[in-house]
Amino acid sequence: MPEPSPNLLTFAIPKGRILDEALPVMADAGVVPDAAFHDKANRSLTFATTRADLRLIRVRAFDVATFVAHGAAQAGIVGSDVIEEFDYAELYAPVDLDIGHCHLAVAEPKGGSVHVDGASHLRVATKYPNLTRRHFERRGIQAECVKLNGAMEIAPALGLASRIVDLVSSGQTLKENGLVETSRILDISARLIVNRAALKTDPRVAQLVEAFRAGASKRKAA
Ligand SMILES: Nc1ncnc2c1ncn2[C@@H]1O[C@H](COP(=O)(O)OP(=O)(O)OP(=O)(O)O)[C@@H](O)[C@H]1O
Ligand SMILES: O=P(O)(O)OC[C@H]1O[C@H](OP(=O)(O)OP(=O)(O)O)[C@H](O)[C@@H]1O
């Protein structure tokens, strides 16, 4: 591996389920982590790449957007759910990477809810309070959101909320927890994101955008 240069670019990636799909997309754009990245015993969160001027950080999906919006990382990969939930002015999402497909949906218990809502007021368990409030506001309904970080699907059965707003891909988790989808809020895929200020001031960020764009076009044509 080359020695890291002092003027490092930082590229943020989520640590979970998107990662396997993201790695080949990154490789197409010349972003390749070193061997330590694949070592399961390695607890480091920062990794060198085959480019001396580029390092990776591996963080929670929501934190990818936060690092990039604040300019602590100049670029990254994250789902459009996270981009829309935060709506950071400093984030620019120029390339749809066509990976991490899923959708955000409202779901409720198949056999009716334990929690009773008011006439124009609902209690919703979700990791996405902003998208949830916006969705229900458009329908003239006030949504009181109970923020959870996972396992939303058990909230209705325990009377915490009458419904949930969560990500769905196969639909298996909803089904196995006795829930049915009632509306689709947002179709989701992963995007390349960059910090707007870094894009203006550092030509390497524009080059990264072009490299990811070229990779996306190549994959689409294949
Ligand atoms: N079935 C799915 N469930 C959850 N996320 C999915 C699914 N399918 C695609 N995604 C995408 O994957 C993203 C989560 O990515 P990933 O699991 O790599 O992040 P993470 O850092 O592990 O997340 P978390 O903060 O939940 O631990 C979501 O924001 C969404 O865009
Ligand atoms: O429609 P499906 O294919 O069943 O996938 C949807 C499930 O996957 C995600 O959870 P994840 O496994 O990431 O765990 P989490 O509860 O920690 O978010 C999401 O929050 C749903 O629970």
Q: Could you state, in order of their start, the residue ranges of all structural domains in the chain? A: 9-100+189-221, 102-187
Structure tokens at 136: 């229900």
Tokens 């390349």 correspond to: 192
Please name the residues in contact with 222: beta carbons below 8 A apart, sequence gap of 6 or more.
Answer: none
Question: Rounded to a whole number, what is the largest CA-CA distance in the chain?
Answer: 63
CA 127 to the chain's CA centroid: 12
CA–centroid distance, residue 168 to ligand 2 (Å): 7
Structure confidence at residue 105 (pLDDT): 98
Structure confidence at residue 42 (pLDDT): 87
Please name the residues in contact with 212: beta carbons below 8 A apart, sequence gap of 6 or more.
Answer: 25, 28, 29, 95, 97, 192
Which residue's alpha carbon is at the smallest distance from atom 20 of ligand 2? 167
Structure tokens at 16: 């979970």
Structure tokens at 167: 């990500």
Q: Looking at domain 9-100+189-221, which CATH architecture does it have?
A: 3-Layer(aba) Sandwich (3.40)
Structure confidence at residue 174 (pLDDT): 98
Structure confidence at residue 114 (pLDDT): 77
> In angstroms, rounded to a whole number, what is the distance separating the alpha carbons of residues 124 and 133?
9
Structure confidence at residue 1 (pLDDT): 53
CA–centroid distance, residue 167 to ligand 1 (Å): 8
Q: Would you say how long the chain is, in residues?
A: 222
Structure confidence at residue 142 (pLDDT): 95
* pLDDT tens sequence for the chain (222 residues): 555 556 999 999 999 899 999 999 999 999 999 998 988 888 889 999 999 999 999 999 999 999 999 999 999 999 999 999 999 999 999 999 999 999 999 999 998 877 877 778 899 999 999 999 999 999 999 999 999 999 999 999 999 999 999 999 999 999 999 999 999 999 999 999 999 999 999 999 999 999 999 999 999 998
**CATH number, span 102-187:** 3.40.190.10
Which residue's alpha carbon is at the smallest distance from atom 18 of ligand 1? 16
Decide whether 9-100+189-221 matches 102-187 in CATH topology: yes
Structure tokens at 77: 């990969």
Ligand 1 in contact with 19 (CB < 6 A)? Answer: yes
Structure confidence at residue 117 (pLDDT): 79
Q: Is residue 191 within 8 Å of residue 77, measured between CB atoms?
A: yes
Instruction: Look up residue 37 and give its DSSP letter.
Output: G
pTM of the model: 0.94
Which residue's alpha carbon is at the smallest distance from atom 5 of ligand 1? 167
